[in-house]
Every structure is written in C-alpha cells, then in structure tokens.
Amino acid sequence: MMTHFGKYTLQLGMLAMCGVSSLAFSDQLSCPAFVEPEKTKTEWVAPYMIFNGVPMSVKRFDSEQSPAAILAFYRRAWAQPAGQQQPVENDVPPWQTIGVVQGKCFFSVQVQTANLSGSTGLLSATQATDKPRIIPPEKALPMMTGSQVVNDIEHRDPGKTARTLLLSNTFSPETNADFYRRTLTDQGWKILNSYQMKTAKGPGITIVLKKQLAETNIVITREGSNTMILANLVDKP
C-alpha cells in the first residue's frame, strides 16, 4: 500500500515535469534553510507556491554523489536525539525519499540515479499554516457535481499570478466542455477558441477564454472511466 508520503512524492515529481517555475518575490516560507550536500548543483522549480493549499518551495538538484550518498547525508543532517521523531524513508520507484518534520515545516528529498554514478532529484519544504485559504474570484473555477480536485497549484512570476487545477469526474469530455463554455460565458468570459485535439490517451477538447486581462486555458481528456480537466488560470498572461 502506498503511504501518504509516497503519494506526495509522485505528485511532486509530476509537478517538476510540468515545468512550474517562478522567480523570487515577497512571499516566502518561515522555515530554516534547506541543507545541501557538497558537489551538488541546485536550481529553483518554485521559491514559493501553494500546492493543494499548502505553502511550498521546491528546488531541483543534480549531484556527482550517488543516491545512497545523498540519503546518508540527510540521515546525518536530520538525525534527532533519542525519543524524538526521526527522518522517514520510503521507496517510490524510481525515487528514493527521505523526509523530516522540524517545527511547522516538513523537509523532503527525493532522489534517483543519473549519469551512471550520480543522482538527480528534488528538495522541497512545506509549511503548516493556520491562515484560511482565500481564492480570489478571478482564480475560482466552477466544477461539475462530483468533481474531485487532484492537484491545485498557485504560482507566481513577476507581473502575473496563475492557478493550475487538475480535476476528475465521470461525465464525458463533451458534457464537461459544454458546462465550461456555458458557465464561464455566463460569468463574463469570452471564448477565444474551442477545438478538438488528439492526445496520447485519445481525443481531447481545448477551450481558451479571456476576461479583461485574465486568461483561462482548459484541456479536457478521457482517462479510463474518468474525465480529467486541466485548467490554467492566469490573471495577466
């Protein structure tokens, strides 16, 4: 059975592959600095974003050290006195992971082999928050009855903010497309384009809408018995 940490690892890997990026800005985590091993190069995936309602920062790394050496480094760095919570490790092939809780922050490393003897992976930090999450009207997305939120990511670049949602329901792609065309048009959005496309998993539907400076792109595809809705809402494209 896959643990919560394992599911989190898969989601984080998908996030990195999606290429979510951001430059530093005023929002930041109130967490200790993330320790990094030697012979390791890092780059930001996102200095700050909201991932499924939780503030997060993510770095990608490449290292000359093996995954075993990376994990050993963090076992030492995160070792706790006897009686306190120790780092937790998990395998979610091809990833190996290690994570630790420090105060209100959760640090995690996921690593896999790269370039024969080296490694690559992600360093992430999340922070618990007591503040209620407020979604501004321009970032709200209507959903059909029974829809489930698979992922919800808020990220920011200079001059614009965006929210990316992945939803799932059992209605057909055509029914979902009709719902979003009708509902968003009623909310003042203008349809710029709407067309069918071919994907690796079968036919899909893309809808592009605009409302003043905001733009929304919706891609609807069928996966087995479910329909997946990927929506990207940007306030100033």
Q: How confident is the model at residue 133 (pLDDT cuts 50, 70, 90)?
A: low
147 lies in the same domain as 176: yes
pLDDT of the residue at 23: 36
64-68 CB contacts, 8 Å cutoff, 24+ apart: 64/39, 64/40, 64/117, 64/118, 65/37, 65/38, 65/39, 65/40, 65/118, 65/119, 66/113, 66/117, 66/118, 66/119, 67/96, 67/111, 67/112, 67/113, 67/119, 67/121
Determine what percent of the chain falls in helix, strand and coil, rounding each to the nearest 5: 20, 50, 35
Q: Domain check: are 193 and 216 in the same one? A: yes
Residue 173 belongs to some domain of the structure: yes
What DSSP character marks residue 85?
P
Q: How far apart, in whole angstroms, are the C-alpha atoms of residue 161 and residue 236?
A: 7
Q: What is the pLDDT of residue 2?
A: 41
Predicted confidence at residue 237, as pLDDT, reads 55
Query: Residue 124 has what pLDDT?
Result: 93
Last residue of a domain, one of 100, 127, 154: 127
Domain annotation covers residue 191: yes
- Note whether 147 and 51 are same-domain residues: no
Final residue in a domain of this structure, among 97, 127, 157: 127
Residues 6+ apart with CB under 8 A from 112: 67, 94, 95, 96, 119, 120, 121
User: Rounded to whole angstroms, how far apart are CA atoms 129 and 104?
Assistant: 8
The CATH number given to whatever domain includes residue 168 is: 3.40.1000.10
Q: Is the pTM of this model over 0.75?
A: no
Mean pLDDT for 140-150 is 92
Alpha carbon distance 69, 119 (integer Å): 9
Mean pLDDT of the chain: 85
pLDDT at 40 over 50: yes
User: Distance from CA of residue 25 to its chain's centroid?
Assistant: 18
Residue 139's pLDDT band, with cuts at 50, 70 and 90, is low
Which has more confidence, 158 or 197? 197
Half-sphere exposure of 170 (CA within 13 A, CB side): 3
pLDDT score at 203: 85
Decide if pLDDT at 55 tops 80.
Answer: yes
Q: 71 and 27: one domain?
A: yes
User: What is the pLDDT at residue 26?
Assistant: 38
pLDDT at 22 (0 to 100): 38
122 and 182 share a domain?
no
Q: Does position 136 have pLDDT exceeding 80, yes or no?
A: no
Q: What is the pLDDT of residues 97-124, one digit of tens each?
A: 999 998 889 999 999 999 889 999 999 9
**Which tens digit of pLDDT belongs to each residue from 181-228?**
999 999 999 999 999 988 777 789 999 999 998 999 999 999 999 999
- Residue 167 host element (H or E): strand 160-169
Query: Is the same domain home to 213 and 147?
Result: yes
Domain around 73: 4-127
Is the pLDDT higher at 118 or at 161? 118
Q: Out of 14-18, 58-62, 71-75, 91-95, which region has the weakest mean confidence (pLDDT)?
A: 14-18
Total domains present in the chain: 2
Task: Say yes or no: 142 and 228 in one domain.
Answer: yes
Residue 69 neighbours by CB distance under 10 Å: 17
For residue 132, being part of any structural domain is answered with no
Instruction: Show which of 83, 101, 127 is a domain's final residue.
Output: 127
My answer on whether 15 and 122 are in the same domain is yes
- Report how far residue 72's alpha carbon sits from residue 181's, in angstroms, rounded to the nearest whole number: 52
Pair (144, 122) in one structural domain? no
158 and 227 housed in the same domain: yes
Residue 46 DSSP symbol: E
Kind of pairing between the strands at 148-157 and 40-51: antiparallel
Residue 24: what pLDDT? 35
